[in-house]
Structure 1
């Protein structure tokens, strides 16, 4: 082979490598833009601020999945209801794509809108279930809805196929709620959602969360829930700030072994009450 031919081959190889590098950079930029768009869509469907209520502290943490368009449908919400009580919801939509994120927005908005018709958590979930079924979507959602009376500390809770809550008191008691739940939203017509009532002590707290916080290939659900119970007990006894607990709980999502959404909503109370 002549020196001229060798140089020509080298130039051609460098040109091909340059073209491949430019393509890779362009694809990476497109992927980054798609990821940012998906995450922005998802975050835009979550509330920008929480209600400020005397005697009650609310804190949230939310960590979205960051694999391209592999966004999920986890959400949280907190808002004032017409009777002055506070409505709180947390949930998870089946799937991890833009459709799941959009369906999540429908569920959250539906809960808010129907709360003006009925504030009773069981009836509210039943009406939301009927609404979602009427939309004809193939997706479904799990959800916990709580109605909180800030004055008395009474919590009324109903679950639609979702994880139970974690509770803890300032005197060292803690555990997982054992309330009866109904099926996920959007699956079965005319479903019933039983309501369970609790009352919070001074310094007591409730932790609402999604499964991305406590379950994955590297962590069993019972292990994850036990971890949150321990964190909640420590926070209640030490009178830690609700924001500190929410941050500690969502950090546990790093241990579950997968990229999934993770949402945590902490409720703590400064007024009187009794153990859940």
Structure 2
């Protein structure tokens, strides 16, 4: 695991030593792996071991991330996927994988490699073959896609941009708290990769192997009011994944936006994911 840092190695070693089934959590843009801490506590209380690797070179805390945001630049989808696959390869048994946003796309790439026993993808970024481009999704991506030079930069959202793309179902006080507690800059490249995926006739980094018979069961969780990843995208994700011979399901959760994994309603979402994983990974 040459690209996996010491704390990630320690998490893998502890998960292996526990003898419990393992769940891997994959975060997306504008968050760190620490955003999964409440989920991990819930899953661990339910009998699982968990690991939550960061993206390559992720800072250890929000404070450090804000002091040196440029560290996030240039992170590409396949590079991040390979980082998670490297960690998973050191586990003694295939884990379940849970991912949100671009982490949901990466979770599906991991599943397409046959590396997970069950997968939950939450408000995932679109991959090649997912065709809808809703206006609200384009608006939420505009702070990055609006300037081609952002491809090579790390971009932070303003609070107003965060409110539109993430916190549109929350009151201002909670939105402000989430922004202060969780928001960090993010690599611009993945958004450009996703934006052009369907214009590239050849394999690209946002391609998912939806037909691999070793993909395992997969659940798509959709926040019904998400402006960043609207229902058109999550439903199209489900239609693509339903081509797989394995179990493929979708759950749409009313009145939830892109912040559904970190806001006050996260337990409802986490329990949907946990109930699905329990059916196939115990």
* Same fold by TM-score greater than 0.5: no
Q: TM-score, length-normalised on structure 2? A: 0.31
Higher strand proportion, which one?
A: 1
Q: Which has the larger radius of gyration?
A: 1
User: TM-score scaled by structure 1?
Assistant: 0.31
